[in-house]
Structures are given as C-alpha cells and as structure tokens.
Structure 1
Amino acid sequence: MYHSVGDCSDDPYRITVTPERLERQLAWLHRRGLRGVSLRDLFAARARGEGRRLVGLTFDDGYVDFLTHALPVLRHWNCGATLFVLPGRLGGVNAWDPLGPRKPLLTADGIRRAAAEGVEIGSHGLTHVDLTRADDVTLKAEVADSRAQLAELIGAPVDGFCYPYGTIDRRAVTAVREAGYAYACAIDPGPLTGPHALPRLHIGQNDTAWRLHLKHKLHRLRRRPVKGV
C-alpha cells in the first residue's frame, strides 16, 4: 500500500516515499524474483494457478505525483499497479488531511493517461469519507456512483474499490459487494477479511531492505488467508 511519491520532508501522516526509495524497494522485490503488478493482474494470475512470484502494488488517493514520479520507476522495473482515485475531487487536493501538506490530485485527463499506460484504475470513493459514518445516501454515492463515474471516464469497467482510511464495517462491505466490485482493499480488516475486505501492508519511506524483509516474512503470520481471489 503506497500513497504519494515525492518530497517527504513534510509528511505527518507518513504517506510519502521518495522516488529513490521506491526505486530501491522495487529493486528489492526484483532481487528476490518478485514483481509488482496490479491487483487485476494478480487475481487473473492466481485464477490460472500462477501468481506465486507476484506482489500487488496499490497507490491510494490518485496524486499527480503518481504520473510524474511513481510511473517512471514502475516502468523501469517492469511493474504494474492499481491506482485508487476520487472522481469527486478531480484536480483537487487532499483536503481530508487537516495537517497537510496539500498535494494535488489527478485531473480526469491524468486518470485517463494512467489508464492508457496500463495502470488499473479503481475507486477510492467520491470524496474520501469514512464509510462507517456515512448515511445511506452518502454511502451509495461514494461506492456505486463513484464506480459509474470512473467507468464512464476511462471507458472500461472498474473492478476494484479501496476504503478511505481503511475503515470498514459489515454495512460498508455489503454496499461495495452489491455495487458490483470484484474486490475491495482495506488495511487490517480482521474477521471481515475476504475478497471485499483485503488486507494490505503499508510501505513507507522508512522501509529499507531489512524492514521489507521482516514485513515480507511476518505478513503471512499476521494476516488471515483470503480465498476466492
């Protein structure tokens, strides 16, 4: 689970890695015979009985720096990724982060450019609200309407959803499933773990080779296995 790729000197939420750190992290995968791919490609490979050496890479929020900083590094290492974006904040900023700093979000053209480069586009909701606190009307808009808007924007189906803040409950998971998503990403969903509540591992600027090694080894001990994807 990544977010922003750029200058991390002012990063109170630890959502940013530098391009140089991302380069070293993807090199670490490469040295171990692993390759980063989109979740769509990961699930397709697993359905064929393959995918053992593949790692799903996700980037939340849809920052402009995905195109300028992340995508060139991904291309250098022949990696794919899934980019979760907010169609209700096209060309806006991360106003949901009160401590800042303000980071520009992709425009509609930027999202289409990422899709044209082979990046899987998924929904992060319309505006980045906590779905566990949303009323029924807001929940439907954030989940179902965002999927419809993105499908129209990129001219292709949108299979993946990512819960803002990683917060979920059964009501939110049900709404995502009923909206037609094939899968959805959380962070640590506990007993709700499944195709529509996938656990992810946060990767940050401090994740050096040794920390990546530990996270890779401990991940399978901390997470429940997910069947059906």
Structure 2
Amino acid sequence: DDEDGFVLLPFFMAVRAAVRAHVTATQVEEAGDMPGGLIAEARSYFELARTLLQEKPPRLIAIGGLSGSGKTAVAEALAAHVGAPPGARIVESDRIRKALHGVPAETKLPDRAYRPDVSDRVYREMAWRADLILAEGGSVVADAVFDRPADRERVETAAKGRDVAFAGFWLEADPLVLWRRVSERRGGPSDATIDILSRQLQRKATPSTWRKVDADRKLADIAAELRRFSERDTSKKERSSLHTAS
C-alpha cells in the first residue's frame, strides 16, 4: 500500500466540497433558490469544506487479541472516527504479511511464512508504516495479534517517537467463542486455523498495560468503548503537552 498520499485526502475532499458549494451557489444566482433548498445545500458543502480542513491531533490506536477476537472488524468500525476525515489509516498485519510475500490478501500462505523471523519483519513494517503516517499528521489504527511483548513495544515506540497519543486495547473472549469464530471464518486475509488459535491460547498472552475489552458483544458497542477511551487518552496527552509548554 502507498501511504504517502493518505494525509492529503482531507485536502482533496475539502476541494471537492468547495467546488460543489460554488456550483450550487452559481445555480442559486442564475435561477434563484429552488424548492429543494439550494442555498442550504451550498452552505452545507461550504461548512463541510471548512470542517475537512480543521486540523486534528494524530494518534495511534493498537488493537490486539487472539485469532477470532474480532480485531479487524473493530478496527474497521473505529477507524472512521479517529483523527481527521476520512479517518485513521488501518495498518493490518495480515495484509502486510501477504504484501511482503507478493500475493493477494486472500491467498493462503505456507507455514514458513509465519516463522518468528518473518513475523518480526511484519511487525517492523507495521511500525514503519505507522511512523510514516504519523509523521505527516495522520492517525493510525494498528490491527495485529500483538501477543509478543516486542511487537507491542514496537508500535508503542512509534507513537512515542512522534509524541502522539497512544492507546492499546486487548480484545478478549471465551475460548469457545474464539474457536467458533475461527472455524466459521470464510475468506479474508487471515490464515488463522483452530491449530493456530490453540497455540496462541497456550502462550496465555495478556498485556498488562493495554486495556482489556470484552469482545463477546455487539461490534458497535465494542467500537464505541474503544473510541471513548482513546479520546480520553488523547485529551490527557493534549493537556500534558500544554502543561509542558507552559
């Protein structure tokens, strides 16, 4: 994926909204306001353009958990509400792993593609992409298992290096729920199987510094909880920065 142009999206969206405002206002000048409310429509496009150009502090949210915990679904539900429009960039380990092997996202990889040294490369790539986006003022939602301390440290370091707010969440669910979800999964970039999940459960990874979240609930409720806590952490970061500056 090309990350370089991602942070320019709000600008291009604002330009498009401004053009629509101009075109609609021109219609009002030529024909007067119509029953559909062209004046209100032009104003709404103009306000949208202004909103899109408002700066929002970048932040990095990491979503971890075992296979079947719903990380990708939660990341997709959350990203649109993080940072400047159109939302945060999702940096997903499964897709990066496939890209590093030069295959489409839904292509199943052999077991050797999941060796520890390969996974190290995947997580380094995730941290590099996150840093690139944060450096340009964009926000990131990182989606991966994150069951190894070194992998969590990499993503946390990316946020610290750019002095942006960080929030780490660990999705938890009963093993029976995880097994059911993995066994019922069809398609998608994940290669997780029941055997892989069983090995993950044996490692008993539970990050002590990341907020634990019950993942056996409605997706909207989980995303709302993550959004609430991540916004709180961002506010704390902003207050701390103001205090330091003063």
Tell me whether the two structures share a fold, i.e. TM-score over 0.5: no
TM-score range relative to shorter protein: under 0.3
Relative contact order, higher structure (CA 8 A, sep 6+): 2
Higher Rg: 2
